[in-house]
A and B are shown apart, each in its own frame.
Chain A
Amino acid sequence: MFTALGRIIKSGSINFWRNGWLSTATVLIMTVALITWTSIFLSNVILTSVLDVLAEKVDISVYFNLDTKESDILALKSKLEGLKEVASVEYVSTDQALQIFKNRHAGDDILLKSIQELDNNPLEASLNILAKDSTRYAAIASFLNQFSAEGGSASGGKNIVSKINYTENKIVIDRLNNIIRVLREGGLVAGLILAFIAFLVAFNTVRLAIYSSREEITVMKLVGASNWFVRGPFIIEGVLHGIIASVFSFMVIIPGIGFFGPKLFNFLPEINLMNYIGNNFWSLLLLQTLGGIILGVFSSWVAIRKYLKI
Protein backbone atom coordinates (compact mmCIF):
# COMPACT_ATOMS: atom_id res chain seq x y z
CA MET A 1 0.00 0.00 0.00
CA PHE A 2 2.82 2.42 0.92
CA THR A 3 4.62 1.47 -2.29
CA ALA A 4 1.49 2.34 -4.31
CA LEU A 5 1.06 5.59 -2.36
CA GLY A 6 4.70 6.50 -2.99
CA ARG A 7 4.29 5.78 -6.71
CA ILE A 8 1.11 7.86 -6.87
CA ILE A 9 2.79 10.84 -5.14
CA LYS A 10 5.87 10.56 -7.35
CA SER A 11 3.80 10.22 -10.51
CA GLY A 12 1.57 13.21 -9.56
CA SER A 13 4.60 15.40 -8.84
CA ILE A 14 6.34 14.41 -12.09
CA ASN A 15 3.13 15.03 -14.08
CA PHE A 16 2.77 18.44 -12.45
CA TRP A 17 6.30 19.35 -13.53
CA ARG A 18 6.10 17.85 -17.04
CA ASN A 19 2.70 19.41 -17.75
CA GLY A 20 4.49 22.80 -17.51
CA TRP A 21 2.13 25.21 -19.22
CA LEU A 22 -1.05 23.43 -18.23
CA SER A 23 0.03 23.39 -14.58
CA THR A 24 1.00 27.08 -14.77
CA ALA A 25 -2.36 28.05 -16.28
CA THR A 26 -4.28 26.02 -13.68
CA VAL A 27 -2.25 27.49 -10.81
CA LEU A 28 -2.80 31.05 -12.10
CA ILE A 29 -6.57 30.58 -12.44
CA MET A 30 -6.71 29.05 -8.96
CA THR A 31 -4.64 31.97 -7.67
CA VAL A 32 -7.24 34.37 -9.08
CA ALA A 33 -10.01 32.33 -7.45
CA LEU A 34 -8.22 32.38 -4.07
CA ILE A 35 -7.50 36.12 -4.32
CA THR A 36 -11.19 36.67 -5.05
CA TRP A 37 -12.21 34.51 -2.07
CA THR A 38 -9.80 36.26 0.30
CA SER A 39 -10.80 39.71 -0.99
CA ILE A 40 -14.47 38.86 -0.44
CA PHE A 41 -13.61 37.65 3.05
CA LEU A 42 -11.63 40.81 3.88
CA SER A 43 -14.33 43.05 2.36
CA ASN A 44 -16.78 41.31 4.65
CA VAL A 45 -14.48 41.98 7.61
CA ILE A 46 -14.33 45.68 6.61
CA LEU A 47 -18.09 45.87 6.02
CA THR A 48 -18.83 44.19 9.35
CA SER A 49 -16.47 46.56 11.17
CA VAL A 50 -18.04 49.61 9.49
CA LEU A 51 -21.52 48.39 10.36
CA ASP A 52 -20.47 47.61 13.95
CA VAL A 53 -19.04 51.11 14.30
CA LEU A 54 -22.25 52.49 12.86
CA ALA A 55 -24.36 50.37 15.20
CA GLU A 56 -22.34 51.55 18.22
CA LYS A 57 -23.23 55.14 17.37
CA VAL A 58 -26.84 54.32 18.15
CA ASP A 59 -27.86 54.44 21.81
CA ILE A 60 -30.80 55.59 23.84
CA SER A 61 -30.74 57.96 26.75
CA VAL A 62 -33.11 58.27 29.66
CA TYR A 63 -33.21 61.72 31.30
CA PHE A 64 -34.28 62.12 34.91
CA ASN A 65 -36.11 64.93 36.63
CA LEU A 66 -33.74 67.33 38.40
CA ASP A 67 -34.84 66.31 41.89
CA THR A 68 -34.28 62.61 41.30
CA LYS A 69 -32.09 60.89 43.88
CA GLU A 70 -28.92 59.37 42.50
CA SER A 71 -29.68 56.11 44.32
CA ASP A 72 -32.92 55.75 42.30
CA ILE A 73 -31.06 56.29 39.05
CA LEU A 74 -28.39 53.75 40.04
CA ALA A 75 -31.13 51.29 40.98
CA LEU A 76 -32.61 51.65 37.49
CA LYS A 77 -29.11 51.33 36.05
CA SER A 78 -28.57 47.98 37.71
CA LYS A 79 -32.04 46.83 36.59
CA LEU A 80 -31.15 47.78 33.01
CA GLU A 81 -27.84 46.00 33.25
CA GLY A 82 -29.77 42.89 34.17
CA LEU A 83 -31.64 42.93 30.86
CA LYS A 84 -30.31 40.53 28.27
CA GLU A 85 -30.69 43.09 25.49
CA VAL A 86 -28.38 45.61 27.17
CA ALA A 87 -24.65 45.71 26.45
CA SER A 88 -23.70 48.60 28.73
CA VAL A 89 -25.24 51.44 30.70
CA GLU A 90 -23.39 54.68 31.37
CA TYR A 91 -24.49 57.02 34.14
CA VAL A 92 -24.04 60.74 33.46
CA SER A 93 -24.69 62.80 36.58
CA THR A 94 -25.95 66.39 36.39
CA ASP A 95 -22.40 67.64 37.14
CA GLN A 96 -20.91 65.48 34.41
CA ALA A 97 -23.64 66.62 32.02
CA LEU A 98 -22.72 70.23 32.79
CA GLN A 99 -19.04 69.51 32.20
CA ILE A 100 -19.82 67.81 28.87
CA PHE A 101 -21.98 70.78 27.91
CA LYS A 102 -19.18 73.22 28.75
CA ASN A 103 -16.62 71.21 26.83
CA ARG A 104 -18.88 70.91 23.83
CA HIS A 105 -19.59 74.64 23.72
CA ALA A 106 -16.15 75.80 24.82
CA GLY A 107 -16.02 78.43 22.08
CA ASP A 108 -19.52 79.81 22.68
CA ASP A 109 -19.07 82.48 25.34
CA ILE A 110 -22.67 83.68 25.35
CA LEU A 111 -23.98 80.20 26.04
CA LEU A 112 -21.41 79.56 28.76
CA LYS A 113 -22.11 82.90 30.44
CA SER A 114 -25.83 82.30 30.37
CA ILE A 115 -25.29 78.95 32.09
CA GLN A 116 -23.19 80.65 34.76
CA GLU A 117 -25.99 83.18 35.32
CA LEU A 118 -28.27 80.39 36.50
CA ASP A 119 -28.27 79.47 40.18
CA ASN A 120 -28.86 75.80 39.61
CA ASN A 121 -27.50 73.32 37.14
CA PRO A 122 -30.35 72.97 34.58
CA LEU A 123 -29.01 69.80 33.00
CA GLU A 124 -30.62 66.50 33.86
CA ALA A 125 -28.79 63.35 34.86
CA SER A 126 -29.09 60.58 32.32
CA LEU A 127 -28.40 56.95 31.59
CA ASN A 128 -26.92 56.18 28.14
CA ILE A 129 -27.85 52.66 27.16
CA LEU A 130 -26.05 50.67 24.50
CA ALA A 131 -27.84 47.57 23.27
CA LYS A 132 -26.10 44.36 22.23
CA ASP A 133 -27.79 44.73 18.87
CA SER A 134 -29.39 47.85 17.44
CA THR A 135 -32.65 46.00 16.80
CA ARG A 136 -33.07 45.52 20.59
CA TYR A 137 -33.71 49.19 21.33
CA ALA A 138 -37.45 48.81 20.93
CA ALA A 139 -37.48 46.20 23.74
CA ILE A 140 -35.35 48.41 26.02
CA ALA A 141 -37.53 51.45 25.26
CA SER A 142 -40.65 49.47 26.09
CA PHE A 143 -39.08 48.41 29.43
CA LEU A 144 -38.34 52.06 30.20
CA ASN A 145 -41.82 53.18 29.17
CA GLN A 146 -43.35 50.53 31.41
CA PHE A 147 -41.05 51.62 34.24
CA SER A 148 -42.13 55.21 33.71
CA ALA A 149 -45.84 54.33 33.52
CA GLU A 150 -45.69 52.31 36.74
CA GLY A 151 -44.49 55.31 38.69
CA GLY A 152 -40.89 55.12 37.77
CA SER A 153 -39.34 55.18 41.18
CA ALA A 154 -38.26 52.60 43.64
CA SER A 155 -38.47 54.94 46.63
CA GLY A 156 -41.07 57.65 46.15
CA GLY A 157 -43.76 56.60 43.73
CA LYS A 158 -43.17 59.80 41.84
CA ASN A 159 -42.15 59.52 38.19
CA ILE A 160 -38.44 60.19 37.99
CA VAL A 161 -38.16 59.79 34.19
CA SER A 162 -38.22 63.07 32.39
CA LYS A 163 -37.62 61.91 28.82
CA ILE A 164 -36.64 58.87 26.80
CA ASN A 165 -35.03 59.88 23.53
CA TYR A 166 -35.83 56.62 21.72
CA THR A 167 -39.21 57.89 20.55
CA GLU A 168 -37.58 60.94 18.97
CA ASN A 169 -34.88 58.87 17.27
CA LYS A 170 -37.05 55.87 16.46
CA ILE A 171 -37.32 56.62 12.74
CA VAL A 172 -33.56 57.18 12.39
CA ILE A 173 -32.74 54.03 14.38
CA ASP A 174 -35.18 51.95 12.35
CA ARG A 175 -33.82 53.31 9.09
CA LEU A 176 -30.25 52.63 10.21
CA ASN A 177 -31.23 49.12 11.26
CA ASN A 178 -32.72 48.54 7.83
CA ILE A 179 -29.61 49.84 6.07
CA ILE A 180 -27.36 47.67 8.26
CA ARG A 181 -29.53 44.61 7.61
CA VAL A 182 -29.65 45.19 3.83
CA LEU A 183 -25.88 45.78 3.67
CA ARG A 184 -25.10 42.69 5.74
CA GLU A 185 -27.44 40.43 3.76
CA GLY A 186 -26.58 42.03 0.40
CA GLY A 187 -22.85 41.80 1.14
CA LEU A 188 -23.22 38.15 2.08
CA VAL A 189 -25.25 37.27 -1.04
CA ALA A 190 -22.96 39.25 -3.39
CA GLY A 191 -19.93 37.64 -1.72
CA LEU A 192 -21.38 34.16 -2.08
CA ILE A 193 -22.23 34.73 -5.75
CA LEU A 194 -18.74 36.07 -6.52
CA ALA A 195 -17.12 33.23 -4.58
CA PHE A 196 -19.22 30.71 -6.51
CA ILE A 197 -18.25 32.28 -9.86
CA ALA A 198 -14.56 32.13 -8.86
CA PHE A 199 -15.04 28.49 -7.88
CA LEU A 200 -16.72 27.68 -11.22
CA VAL A 201 -13.88 29.27 -13.20
CA ALA A 202 -11.22 27.31 -11.27
CA PHE A 203 -13.27 24.10 -11.40
CA ASN A 204 -13.72 24.35 -15.18
CA THR A 205 -10.01 24.99 -15.68
CA VAL A 206 -9.22 21.76 -13.84
CA ARG A 207 -11.93 20.00 -15.86
CA LEU A 208 -10.34 21.17 -19.10
CA ALA A 209 -6.91 20.05 -17.89
CA ILE A 210 -8.28 16.59 -17.10
CA TYR A 211 -10.25 16.52 -20.36
CA SER A 212 -6.95 16.93 -22.20
CA SER A 213 -5.68 13.84 -20.34
CA ARG A 214 -8.75 11.68 -21.02
CA GLU A 215 -6.92 9.41 -23.48
CA GLU A 216 -4.08 8.91 -21.01
CA ILE A 217 -6.65 7.90 -18.41
CA THR A 218 -8.14 5.34 -20.81
CA VAL A 219 -4.66 3.95 -21.55
CA MET A 220 -3.87 3.63 -17.85
CA LYS A 221 -7.11 1.74 -17.30
CA LEU A 222 -6.48 -0.59 -20.26
CA VAL A 223 -3.00 -1.38 -18.99
CA GLY A 224 -4.62 -2.62 -15.77
CA ALA A 225 -4.46 0.36 -13.42
CA SER A 226 -7.08 0.48 -10.67
CA ASN A 227 -9.24 3.61 -10.35
CA TRP A 228 -7.13 4.77 -7.41
CA PHE A 229 -3.89 4.34 -9.28
CA VAL A 230 -5.26 6.53 -12.09
CA ARG A 231 -7.01 9.08 -9.91
CA GLY A 232 -4.22 9.41 -7.34
CA PRO A 233 -1.69 11.37 -9.41
CA PHE A 234 -4.40 13.81 -10.53
CA ILE A 235 -5.37 14.37 -6.89
CA ILE A 236 -1.71 14.99 -6.03
CA GLU A 237 -1.54 17.48 -8.89
CA GLY A 238 -4.68 19.13 -7.47
CA VAL A 239 -3.02 19.42 -4.05
CA LEU A 240 0.09 20.96 -5.62
CA HIS A 241 -2.03 23.40 -7.65
CA GLY A 242 -3.84 24.41 -4.44
CA ILE A 243 -0.71 24.91 -2.33
CA ILE A 244 1.19 26.88 -4.95
CA ALA A 245 -1.88 28.98 -5.82
CA SER A 246 -2.30 29.76 -2.12
CA VAL A 247 1.33 30.94 -1.84
CA PHE A 248 0.97 33.07 -5.01
CA SER A 249 -2.30 34.50 -3.76
CA PHE A 250 -0.70 35.51 -0.44
CA MET A 251 2.17 37.09 -2.36
CA VAL A 252 -0.39 39.37 -4.02
CA ILE A 253 -2.69 39.96 -1.04
CA ILE A 254 -0.09 40.91 1.58
CA PRO A 255 1.56 43.70 -0.48
CA GLY A 256 -1.95 44.74 -1.59
CA ILE A 257 -3.00 45.21 2.03
CA GLY A 258 0.32 46.94 2.77
CA PHE A 259 -0.60 49.43 0.06
CA PHE A 260 -4.34 49.91 0.62
CA GLY A 261 -4.45 49.28 4.41
CA PRO A 262 -3.00 52.66 5.49
CA LYS A 263 -5.23 54.50 2.98
CA LEU A 264 -8.27 52.76 4.41
CA PHE A 265 -7.04 53.48 7.95
CA ASN A 266 -6.89 57.22 7.16
CA PHE A 267 -10.44 57.05 5.88
CA LEU A 268 -11.88 54.74 8.56
CA PRO A 269 -9.66 54.81 11.69
CA GLU A 270 -11.70 52.02 13.27
CA ILE A 271 -10.46 49.54 10.66
CA ASN A 272 -6.82 48.55 10.77
CA LEU A 273 -6.35 45.86 8.15
CA MET A 274 -2.60 45.61 8.79
CA ASN A 275 -3.29 44.75 12.43
CA TYR A 276 -6.00 42.32 11.38
CA ILE A 277 -3.65 40.50 9.00
CA GLY A 278 -0.86 40.63 11.59
CA ASN A 279 -3.09 38.98 14.19
CA ASN A 280 -4.59 36.42 11.80
CA PHE A 281 -1.68 35.75 9.42
CA TRP A 282 -1.25 32.04 10.09
CA SER A 283 -4.93 31.23 10.31
CA LEU A 284 -5.57 33.12 7.05
CA LEU A 285 -2.67 31.35 5.33
CA LEU A 286 -3.88 28.00 6.63
CA LEU A 287 -7.48 28.70 5.57
CA GLN A 288 -6.39 29.82 2.14
CA THR A 289 -4.11 26.84 1.63
CA LEU A 290 -6.89 24.52 2.78
CA GLY A 291 -9.28 26.31 0.42
CA GLY A 292 -6.80 25.85 -2.44
CA ILE A 293 -6.25 22.17 -1.66
CA ILE A 294 -9.97 21.47 -1.32
CA LEU A 295 -10.64 23.33 -4.58
CA GLY A 296 -7.89 21.41 -6.41
CA VAL A 297 -8.76 18.00 -5.00
CA PHE A 298 -12.53 18.41 -5.37
CA SER A 299 -12.24 19.63 -8.97
CA SER A 300 -9.87 16.80 -9.96
CA TRP A 301 -11.98 14.22 -8.15
CA VAL A 302 -15.21 15.24 -9.85
CA ALA A 303 -13.68 15.92 -13.28
CA ILE A 304 -11.93 12.54 -13.54
CA ARG A 305 -14.93 10.44 -12.52
CA LYS A 306 -16.54 10.03 -15.93
CA TYR A 307 -13.27 9.01 -17.62
CA LEU A 308 -12.78 6.18 -15.14
CA LYS A 309 -15.90 4.35 -16.29
CA ILE A 310 -14.06 1.95 -18.54
Chain B
Amino acid sequence: MIRFENISKIYNSHSVALKSVTFEVKPNEFVSVVGRSGAGKSTLLKLLIAEEKPTGGKIFFDRQNILQMRPDELPFLRRQIGAVFQDFKLLPNKTAYENVAFAMEVAGKSKREIKSDVPKVLDLVGLKDKVNNFPRELSGGEKQRVAIARALVHRPSVIVADEPTGNLDPINTWDIIRLLLKINELGTTVILATHDKEIINALERRVVSLENGTVVRDENPGRYILS
Protein backbone atom coordinates (compact mmCIF):
# COMPACT_ATOMS: atom_id res chain seq x y z
CA MET B 1 0.00 0.00 0.00
CA ILE B 2 2.78 2.42 1.00
CA ARG B 3 6.38 1.84 0.02
CA PHE B 4 9.42 3.94 0.92
CA GLU B 5 12.21 3.06 -1.51
CA ASN B 6 15.76 4.23 -0.80
CA ILE B 7 14.52 7.46 0.66
CA SER B 8 17.05 10.05 1.73
CA LYS B 9 16.54 13.57 2.95
CA ILE B 10 19.52 15.87 3.30
CA TYR B 11 18.87 19.43 4.53
CA ASN B 12 22.57 20.34 4.36
CA SER B 13 25.93 18.58 4.82
CA HIS B 14 25.55 18.81 8.62
CA SER B 15 21.93 17.77 8.71
CA VAL B 16 21.06 14.42 7.15
CA ALA B 17 17.53 13.45 8.24
CA LEU B 18 17.13 10.16 6.34
CA LYS B 19 19.57 7.82 4.59
CA SER B 20 18.40 5.05 2.22
CA VAL B 21 15.22 4.24 4.11
CA THR B 22 13.29 1.34 2.60
CA PHE B 23 10.21 -0.37 4.00
CA GLU B 24 6.65 -1.18 3.12
CA VAL B 25 3.33 -0.76 4.92
CA LYS B 26 0.52 -3.17 4.08
CA PRO B 27 -3.21 -2.36 4.14
CA ASN B 28 -4.80 -2.43 7.63
CA GLU B 29 -1.41 -2.55 9.37
CA PHE B 30 -0.64 -0.64 12.57
CA VAL B 31 3.00 0.39 12.26
CA SER B 32 4.94 2.36 14.85
CA VAL B 33 7.97 4.31 13.70
CA VAL B 34 10.20 4.86 16.71
CA GLY B 35 13.43 6.63 17.41
CA ARG B 36 14.96 9.42 19.45
CA SER B 37 14.24 13.05 18.67
CA GLY B 38 15.95 13.89 15.39
CA ALA B 39 16.02 10.26 14.22
CA GLY B 40 13.91 11.18 11.16
CA LYS B 41 10.42 9.98 12.20
CA SER B 42 8.62 13.27 11.54
CA THR B 43 10.53 13.81 8.31
CA LEU B 44 9.40 10.42 7.06
CA LEU B 45 5.74 11.24 7.69
CA LYS B 46 6.12 14.70 6.17
CA LEU B 47 7.45 13.08 3.00
CA LEU B 48 4.42 10.77 2.86
CA ILE B 49 1.93 13.68 2.91
CA ALA B 50 4.19 15.61 0.50
CA GLU B 51 4.78 18.39 3.00
CA GLU B 52 8.44 18.02 2.08
CA LYS B 53 10.28 16.45 -0.84
CA PRO B 54 13.00 13.81 -0.38
CA THR B 55 16.50 14.38 -1.73
CA GLY B 56 16.47 10.93 -3.30
CA GLY B 57 14.37 7.77 -3.60
CA LYS B 58 10.74 6.97 -4.33
CA ILE B 59 7.55 6.87 -2.25
CA PHE B 60 4.62 4.85 -3.54
CA PHE B 61 1.07 5.25 -2.33
CA ASP B 62 -1.28 2.72 -3.90
CA ARG B 63 1.41 2.10 -6.57
CA GLN B 64 1.55 5.75 -7.49
CA ASN B 65 4.85 7.56 -7.05
CA ILE B 66 4.06 10.60 -4.89
CA LEU B 67 7.09 12.45 -6.17
CA GLN B 68 5.79 12.39 -9.71
CA MET B 69 2.47 13.95 -8.76
CA ARG B 70 1.64 17.43 -10.05
CA PRO B 71 0.93 20.12 -7.40
CA ASP B 72 -2.78 20.04 -8.31
CA GLU B 73 -2.87 16.28 -7.61
CA LEU B 74 -1.52 16.60 -4.06
CA PRO B 75 -4.85 17.63 -2.45
CA PHE B 76 -6.33 14.31 -3.69
CA LEU B 77 -3.44 12.37 -2.11
CA ARG B 78 -3.84 14.26 1.18
CA ARG B 79 -7.57 13.51 1.26
CA GLN B 80 -6.68 9.81 1.30
CA ILE B 81 -4.24 10.22 4.20
CA GLY B 82 -5.54 11.57 7.49
CA ALA B 83 -2.77 13.39 9.38
CA VAL B 84 -2.57 13.95 13.14
CA PHE B 85 0.18 16.14 14.59
CA GLN B 86 1.77 16.68 17.98
CA ASP B 87 0.74 20.36 17.98
CA PHE B 88 -2.80 19.45 16.78
CA LYS B 89 -2.76 21.97 13.88
CA LEU B 90 -6.40 22.94 14.27
CA LEU B 91 -7.79 26.04 12.59
CA PRO B 92 -8.06 28.51 15.49
CA ASN B 93 -10.99 30.51 14.07
CA LYS B 94 -13.15 27.46 13.51
CA THR B 95 -15.16 25.51 16.08
CA ALA B 96 -14.58 21.80 16.67
CA TYR B 97 -17.49 21.05 14.33
CA GLU B 98 -16.16 23.43 11.64
CA ASN B 99 -12.62 22.03 11.90
CA VAL B 100 -13.92 18.53 11.20
CA ALA B 101 -16.40 19.72 8.57
CA PHE B 102 -13.57 21.57 6.79
CA ALA B 103 -11.93 18.25 5.81
CA MET B 104 -15.20 17.20 4.17
CA GLU B 105 -15.80 20.57 2.54
CA VAL B 106 -12.42 20.54 0.79
CA ALA B 107 -13.29 17.11 -0.57
CA GLY B 108 -16.52 18.54 -2.01
CA LYS B 109 -18.88 16.50 0.19
CA SER B 110 -22.51 17.59 0.26
CA LYS B 111 -24.05 19.58 3.10
CA ARG B 112 -26.21 16.58 3.98
CA GLU B 113 -23.22 14.23 4.26
CA ILE B 114 -21.40 16.77 6.42
CA LYS B 115 -24.39 17.23 8.72
CA SER B 116 -24.73 13.49 9.12
CA ASP B 117 -21.05 12.46 9.45
CA VAL B 118 -19.41 15.18 11.53
CA PRO B 119 -21.54 14.70 14.68
CA LYS B 120 -21.03 10.94 14.41
CA VAL B 121 -17.23 11.24 14.24
CA LEU B 122 -17.16 13.79 17.07
CA ASP B 123 -19.26 11.38 19.08
CA LEU B 124 -16.82 8.58 18.26
CA VAL B 125 -13.91 10.58 19.72
CA GLY B 126 -16.00 11.55 22.75
CA LEU B 127 -16.59 15.21 21.97
CA LYS B 128 -20.33 15.27 21.46
CA ASP B 129 -20.67 18.12 23.94
CA LYS B 130 -17.86 20.29 22.57
CA VAL B 131 -18.94 20.68 18.96
CA ASN B 132 -19.33 24.45 19.18
CA ASN B 133 -16.16 25.12 21.16
CA PHE B 134 -13.18 26.84 19.57
CA PRO B 135 -9.75 25.15 19.93
CA ARG B 136 -8.71 27.75 22.54
CA GLU B 137 -11.61 26.51 24.70
CA LEU B 138 -10.47 22.86 24.57
CA SER B 139 -7.87 20.95 26.61
CA GLY B 140 -4.85 19.32 24.90
CA GLY B 141 -6.52 15.90 24.87
CA GLU B 142 -9.73 17.36 23.43
CA LYS B 143 -7.82 19.22 20.74
CA GLN B 144 -6.09 16.01 19.72
CA ARG B 145 -9.44 14.21 19.53
CA VAL B 146 -10.75 16.95 17.24
CA ALA B 147 -7.64 16.48 15.11
CA ILE B 148 -8.25 12.72 14.97
CA ALA B 149 -11.91 13.29 14.12
CA ARG B 150 -10.81 15.60 11.30
CA ALA B 151 -8.30 13.03 10.03
CA LEU B 152 -10.94 10.34 10.18
CA VAL B 153 -14.04 12.02 8.84
CA HIS B 154 -13.43 11.59 5.12
CA ARG B 155 -12.69 7.90 5.65
CA PRO B 156 -9.03 7.90 4.58
CA SER B 157 -7.29 4.62 3.89
CA VAL B 158 -4.32 5.66 6.09
CA ILE B 159 -3.90 7.73 9.24
CA VAL B 160 -0.44 9.07 10.00
CA ALA B 161 0.04 10.31 13.55
CA ASP B 162 3.21 12.23 14.34
CA GLU B 163 3.82 12.15 18.11
CA PRO B 164 0.08 12.56 18.75
CA THR B 165 0.53 12.11 22.49
CA GLY B 166 3.63 14.30 22.84
CA ASN B 167 1.71 17.13 24.51
CA LEU B 168 -0.72 15.04 26.54
CA ASP B 169 -0.91 13.67 30.10
CA PRO B 170 -0.86 9.84 30.60
CA ILE B 171 -4.66 9.45 30.79
CA ASN B 172 -5.24 11.40 27.59
CA THR B 173 -2.29 9.61 25.98
CA TRP B 174 -3.91 6.22 26.47
CA ASP B 175 -7.30 7.53 25.32
CA ILE B 176 -5.74 8.66 22.06
CA ILE B 177 -3.83 5.38 21.57
CA ARG B 178 -7.00 3.36 22.23
CA LEU B 179 -8.78 5.54 19.67
CA LEU B 180 -6.07 4.85 17.08
CA LEU B 181 -6.31 1.11 17.77
CA LYS B 182 -10.08 1.27 17.34
CA ILE B 183 -9.68 3.12 14.04
CA ASN B 184 -7.22 0.44 12.92
CA GLU B 185 -9.63 -2.33 13.89
CA LEU B 186 -12.27 -0.64 11.73
CA GLY B 187 -9.96 -1.16 8.74
CA THR B 188 -7.78 1.94 8.48
CA THR B 189 -4.01 1.62 8.21
CA VAL B 190 -2.25 3.55 11.00
CA ILE B 191 1.34 4.81 11.01
CA LEU B 192 2.29 6.13 14.42
CA ALA B 193 5.54 8.01 15.01
CA THR B 194 6.52 8.20 18.68
CA HIS B 195 9.40 7.96 21.13
CA ASP B 196 7.16 6.76 23.96
CA LYS B 197 8.68 3.40 25.01
CA GLU B 198 5.75 2.42 27.25
CA ILE B 199 3.20 2.80 24.46
CA ILE B 200 5.24 0.84 21.92
CA ASN B 201 5.88 -2.04 24.27
CA ALA B 202 2.22 -2.22 25.26
CA LEU B 203 0.94 -2.15 21.68
CA GLU B 204 2.71 -5.34 20.52
CA ARG B 205 2.45 -4.34 16.89
CA ARG B 206 4.99 -3.87 14.12
CA VAL B 207 7.82 -1.45 15.04
CA VAL B 208 10.23 0.24 12.60
CA SER B 209 13.18 1.71 14.53
CA LEU B 210 15.10 4.65 13.13
CA GLU B 211 18.52 5.78 14.26
CA ASN B 212 20.37 8.69 12.69
CA GLY B 213 18.11 8.54 9.66
CA THR B 214 18.43 4.84 8.90
CA VAL B 215 16.19 1.85 9.66
CA VAL B 216 18.02 -0.26 12.25
CA ARG B 217 15.21 -2.69 13.10
CA ASP B 218 11.88 -3.71 11.59
CA GLU B 219 10.02 -6.32 13.68
CA ASN B 220 6.44 -7.56 13.91
CA PRO B 221 5.54 -7.57 16.76
CA GLY B 222 8.33 -5.33 17.88
CA ARG B 223 9.56 -3.56 20.99
CA TYR B 224 11.21 -0.27 21.70
CA ILE B 225 14.91 -1.13 21.60
CA LEU B 226 17.43 1.59 20.82
CA SER B 227 21.16 1.39 21.27
Contacts and interface: CB of A to CB of B under 8 A. Distances in A.
Interface of A: 3-4, 7, 14-15, 18-19, 215-216, 218-227, 229, 310
A229 B104 CA distance: 12
B204 to A, nearest CB: 30
A218 B74 CA distance: 13
Given A15-B93, A216-B91, A216-B92, A222 B78 contact: yes
A4 B107 CA distance: 10
20 contacts: A215-B89, A216-B91, A216-B93, A219-B89, A220-B91, A222-B49, A222-B78, A222-B83, A223-B83, A223-B102, A223-B106, A224-B76, A225-B75, A225-B102, A225-B106, A226-B106, A227-B71, A227-B72, A229-B105, A229-B106
A217 to B, nearest CB: 10
Interface string B89-119: 1111100000000110111101100000000
Contacts of A14: 93
Contacts of B92: 216
A19 B94 CA distance: 11
A224 B90 contact: no
Contacts of B106: 220, 223-226, 229
Nearest to A309: B71
B9 interface: no
B19 interface: no
B49 A4 contact: no
A116 B209 CA distance: 122
Contacts of A4: 108
B91 A19 contact: no
B150 interface: yes
Contacts of A223: 78, 83, 102-103, 106, 150
Chain A interface, >50% SS class: helix
A224 B75 contact: yes
B93 A19 contact: yes
Contact of B75 (A18, A215, A218, A226): A226
Contacts of B78: 221-224
A18 to B, nearest CB: 5
Contacts of A310: 51
A222 B48 CA distance: 11
B205 to A, nearest CB: 25
Contacts of B83: 222-223
A281 B137 CA distance: 48
Contacts of A226: 72, 75, 106
B143 interface: no
B147 to A, nearest CB: 10
B89 A222 contact: yes
B79 interface: yes
Contacts of A216: 91-93
Contacts of B90: 219
B106 to A, nearest CB: 4
A15 to B, nearest CB: 6
B108 A220 contact: no
Contact of A219 (B76, B91, B110, B111): B91
B75 to A, nearest CB: 5
Contacts of A218: 51, 89
Contacts of B79: 224
A81 B75 CA distance: 72
A193 B122 CA distance: 55
A30 to B, nearest CB: 21
A19 B134 CA distance: 13
B35 to A, nearest CB: 22
A25 to B, nearest CB: 16
Interface in B30-84: 49, 51, 71-72, 75-76, 78-79, 83
- Closest 6 CB pairs between A and B? A224-B79, A224-B78, A225-B106, A18-B93, A219-B89, A224-B75
A149 B113 CA distance: 94
A95 B102 CA distance: 88
Given A19-B93, A215-B89, A222 B110 contact: no
A4 B79 CA distance: 16
A218 B88 CA distance: 13
Contacts of B51: 218, 222, 310
B11 to A, nearest CB: 17
A21 to B, nearest CB: 12
Contacts of B108: 3-4
A310 B110 CA distance: 26
A224 B103 contact: yes
Nearest to A7: B105
Nearest to A19: B93
Nearest to B92: A216
Most buried by B among A15, A218, A219, A227: A219
